[in-house]
């Protein structure tokens, strides 16, 4: 009985800590809209034929997810993924400005995001619904 009460108390404390984790630590949560977004539009393309890959796009089809970004800030890529799939990301403002180029094809959102952030230290909490999944990126530069 004591262990059950203590377990519930610990889970309650952890839930409250995660709910407020980004409020005082200087992390940028992509649920807040910033005015510093690049002027580039992210296009949702239903067909990527003719051999051309757009510089910035997210393509979600029944066959899978395609992410294509050329020299694009990591924070803006994650914001666009959040807008498309609902996955929540927290990262420092310094990390948000990291310019990266990616071309990823995966069968679902989890696999595509994991490929995107594979080189970063992170904490991932995945659920059955992307909208309730949450990822914290904790290093400002990729691992070597």
110-144 confidence digits (pLDDT tens): 999 999 999 889 999 999 988 999 999 987 555 54
Measured over the CA atoms of residue 100, residue 66, residue 82 and residue 16, the dihedral's sign is negative
8 token code pair: 């519930």
- CA-CA-CA-CA torsion for 110, 116, 121, 127, nearest 10 degrees? -10
pLDDT digits (tens, 9 = 90+) for 34-72: 434 333 334 443 344 444 444 688 888 888 999 999 999
Q: Which two tokens stand for residue 138?
A: 């904790």
State the first-to-last Cα distance of the chain, in angstroms, to the nearest integer: 47
Sign, CA dihedral 109-110-114-115, equals negative
Ordered structural domains, the chain, with CATH: 24-32+39-137 (3.55.50)
35 vs 29: CA distance, rounded Å: 14
pLDDT confidence of residue 14 = 66
Whole-prediction pTM value?
0.60
């Amino acid at each position: 009985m004591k262990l059950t009460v203590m377990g519930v108390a610990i889970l309650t404390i952890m839930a409250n800590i995660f709910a407020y984790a980004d409020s005082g630590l200087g992390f940028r949560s992509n649920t807040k809209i910033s005015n510093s977004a690049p002027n580039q539009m992210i296009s949702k393309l239903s067909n990527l034929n003719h051999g051309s890959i757009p510089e910035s796009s997210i393509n979600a089809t029944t066959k899978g997810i395609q992410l294509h970004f050329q020299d694009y800030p990591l924070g803006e890529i994650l914001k666009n993924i959040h807008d498309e799939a609902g996955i929540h990301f927290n990262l420092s403002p310094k990390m948000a400005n990291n310019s990266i180029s990616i071309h990823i094809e995966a069968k679902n959102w989890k696999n595509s995001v994991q490929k995107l952030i594979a080189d970063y230290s992170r904490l991932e909490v995945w659920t059955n619904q992307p909208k309730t999944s949450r990822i914290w990126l904790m290093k400002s530069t990729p691992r070597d």
